Amino acid sequence: MAADPARVRAPLLAWYDAHRRTMPWREAPSPWRTWVSEIMLQQTRVESVIPYFHRFLARFPDPAALAAAPLDEVLALWAGLGYYSRARSLHRAAQEVVERHGGEIPNDPETFGALTGVGPYTRGAVMSIAFGRAEPLVDGNVIRVLSRLDHIAEDPRRPAVSRRFWARAAELVVGERPGDLNQALMELGALVCRSRSPLCLVCPVAADCDARAAGTQEDLPLKPKRAERPVTTWTAGLARDDAGRLWLARRAGDGLLGGLWELPAVEHPADLATLGLTAGEPRGDVEHGFTHRVWRIAVVAATGTPHAGPPYDAVEAFAEDALPALSGPGIKALRAAGVELAHRRGAGRKPS
Ligand code: SF4
């Protein structure tokens, strides 16, 4: 049976006060710092986010500064964090904050939640942490803690089950320090109620944990089998201009990897001609896995002067020491072709 919220809240907050990790966005919190950090932290580890957070805030100290910047610059500062749709949405949302709210981040769940890219999680995080509102949030860590605490042995992706997690989180967040309570739930999931080998002996809510009582904690949350991901094959052309610079193409729009650069690629080798290139010798093969699909890319040497065409809205030649924001598959393809990219890592992983 689900424990009384008061029995969970008090020990959880006391544990958080004693054990919480120091993070730059937790010190001197502000709505903007909280918002940026929460977007960066989605799907990304804390240690990876910290240097990006400092750089981003130094360049964009408020929404107005981000709103005024060109998207290319925003993506370049994001390069390496992956999931670029987050950067595009934050950029757009900052413009909305300037256009609709005079540059002030709205202190209201409905109004803030209407901004581009602000889903229920981000809304709950900013409202509770930055504005002290009793708004719930649910992420992977919270799902793990609550599924064990209340022994919820159902697929968390099912809408009815998801509603149950949100309802429980909403029940728990009511009271003093809602932002800390939400962070405590997430921190407990990160440090104690871990996927494997949870540290139940030191857990502040162990006395009220149904999964621990049943000995089923490592079976929860339920993990549904992953469906086979469809595979798309690409042929990418490696061509240079007369000065030896690399021809790169930029994926159009807000879709998968939109705004990022890579070697011009087509799904059928013969179609390279539609981008103005003639295919030559093979240079390497790579595979890139997204959440719901897999790309296999065959890189070939190519000749010609490429031009824009679907799925690209721009083509440009770049010196190798001055490359723009590259897609994750683009980085892998360039490396497979022997292009040195020493200072880049992991850009464009699994966009959401
Ligand atoms: Fe997680 Fe164990 Fe704590 Fe239950 S007792 S919430 S399983 S760490």
φ, ψ dihedrals at 351, nearest 5°: -60, 145
Q: Tell me the whole-structure pTM to 2 decimals.
A: 0.77
Nearest CA to ligand 1 atom 4: 209
8 A C-beta contact, residue 66 and residue 92: no
Beta carbon of 332 within 6 Å of any ligand 1 atom? no
Q: What pLDDT digit, counting tens, does each position of 199-218 carry? A: 999 999 999 999 999 999 99
Which of 193, 199, 218 best tests ligand 1's pocket when mutated (most atoms within 8 Å of CB)?
193
- How far is 80 from 59, CA to CA, in rounded Å? 17
Does any ligand 1 atom lie closer than 6 A to the CB of residue 205?
Answer: yes
Going from the Cα of 124 to the center of ligand 1, the distance in angstroms, rounded, reads 23
Cis peptide, bond prior to residue 106, ω within 30 of zero: no
For position 352, what pLDDT does the model report?
33
> What is the H or E stretch that residue 5 is in?
helix 5-19
* pLDDT tens by residue, the chain, 352 residues: 688 999 999 999 999 999 999 999 998 889 999 999 999 998 888 999 999 999 999 999 999 999 999 999 999 999 888 888 899 999 999 999 999 999 999 999 999 999 999 999 999 999 999 999 999 999 999 999 999 999 999 999 999 999 999 999 999 999 999 999 999 999 999 999 999 999 999 999 999 999 999 999 999 999 877 778 899 999 999 999 999 999 999 999 877 788 999 999 999 888 899 999 999 999 999 999 888 899 999 999 999 999 999 899 999 999 998 899 898 899 999 999 999 886 554 443 333 3
* Domains of the chain as residue ranges with CATH: 5-219 (1.10.340.30), 231-336 (3.90.79.10)
- For ligand 1, whether the C-beta of 141 sits within 6 Å is no
Please state, in angstroms and rounded to a whole number, the distance separating the CA atoms of residues 126 and 31.
6
Ligand 1, atom 2: closest residue by C-alpha: 200
Dihedral sign, Cα of residue 102, residue 108, residue 112, residue 114? negative
220 Cα nearest atom in ligand 1: 7
d(CA 149, CA 45): 24
Choose one of 8, 149, 172 to mutate for the ligand 1 pocket test, by most ligand atoms within 8 angstroms of C-beta: 149
Whether 147 is in the pocket of ligand 1, judged by its Cβ within 6 Å, is no
Output the pLDDT for position 349.
Answer: 37
| Ligand 1 center from residue 192 Cα (angstroms) | 7
User: Could you tell me the two tokens for 319?
Assistant: 């010196």
262 is catalytic: no
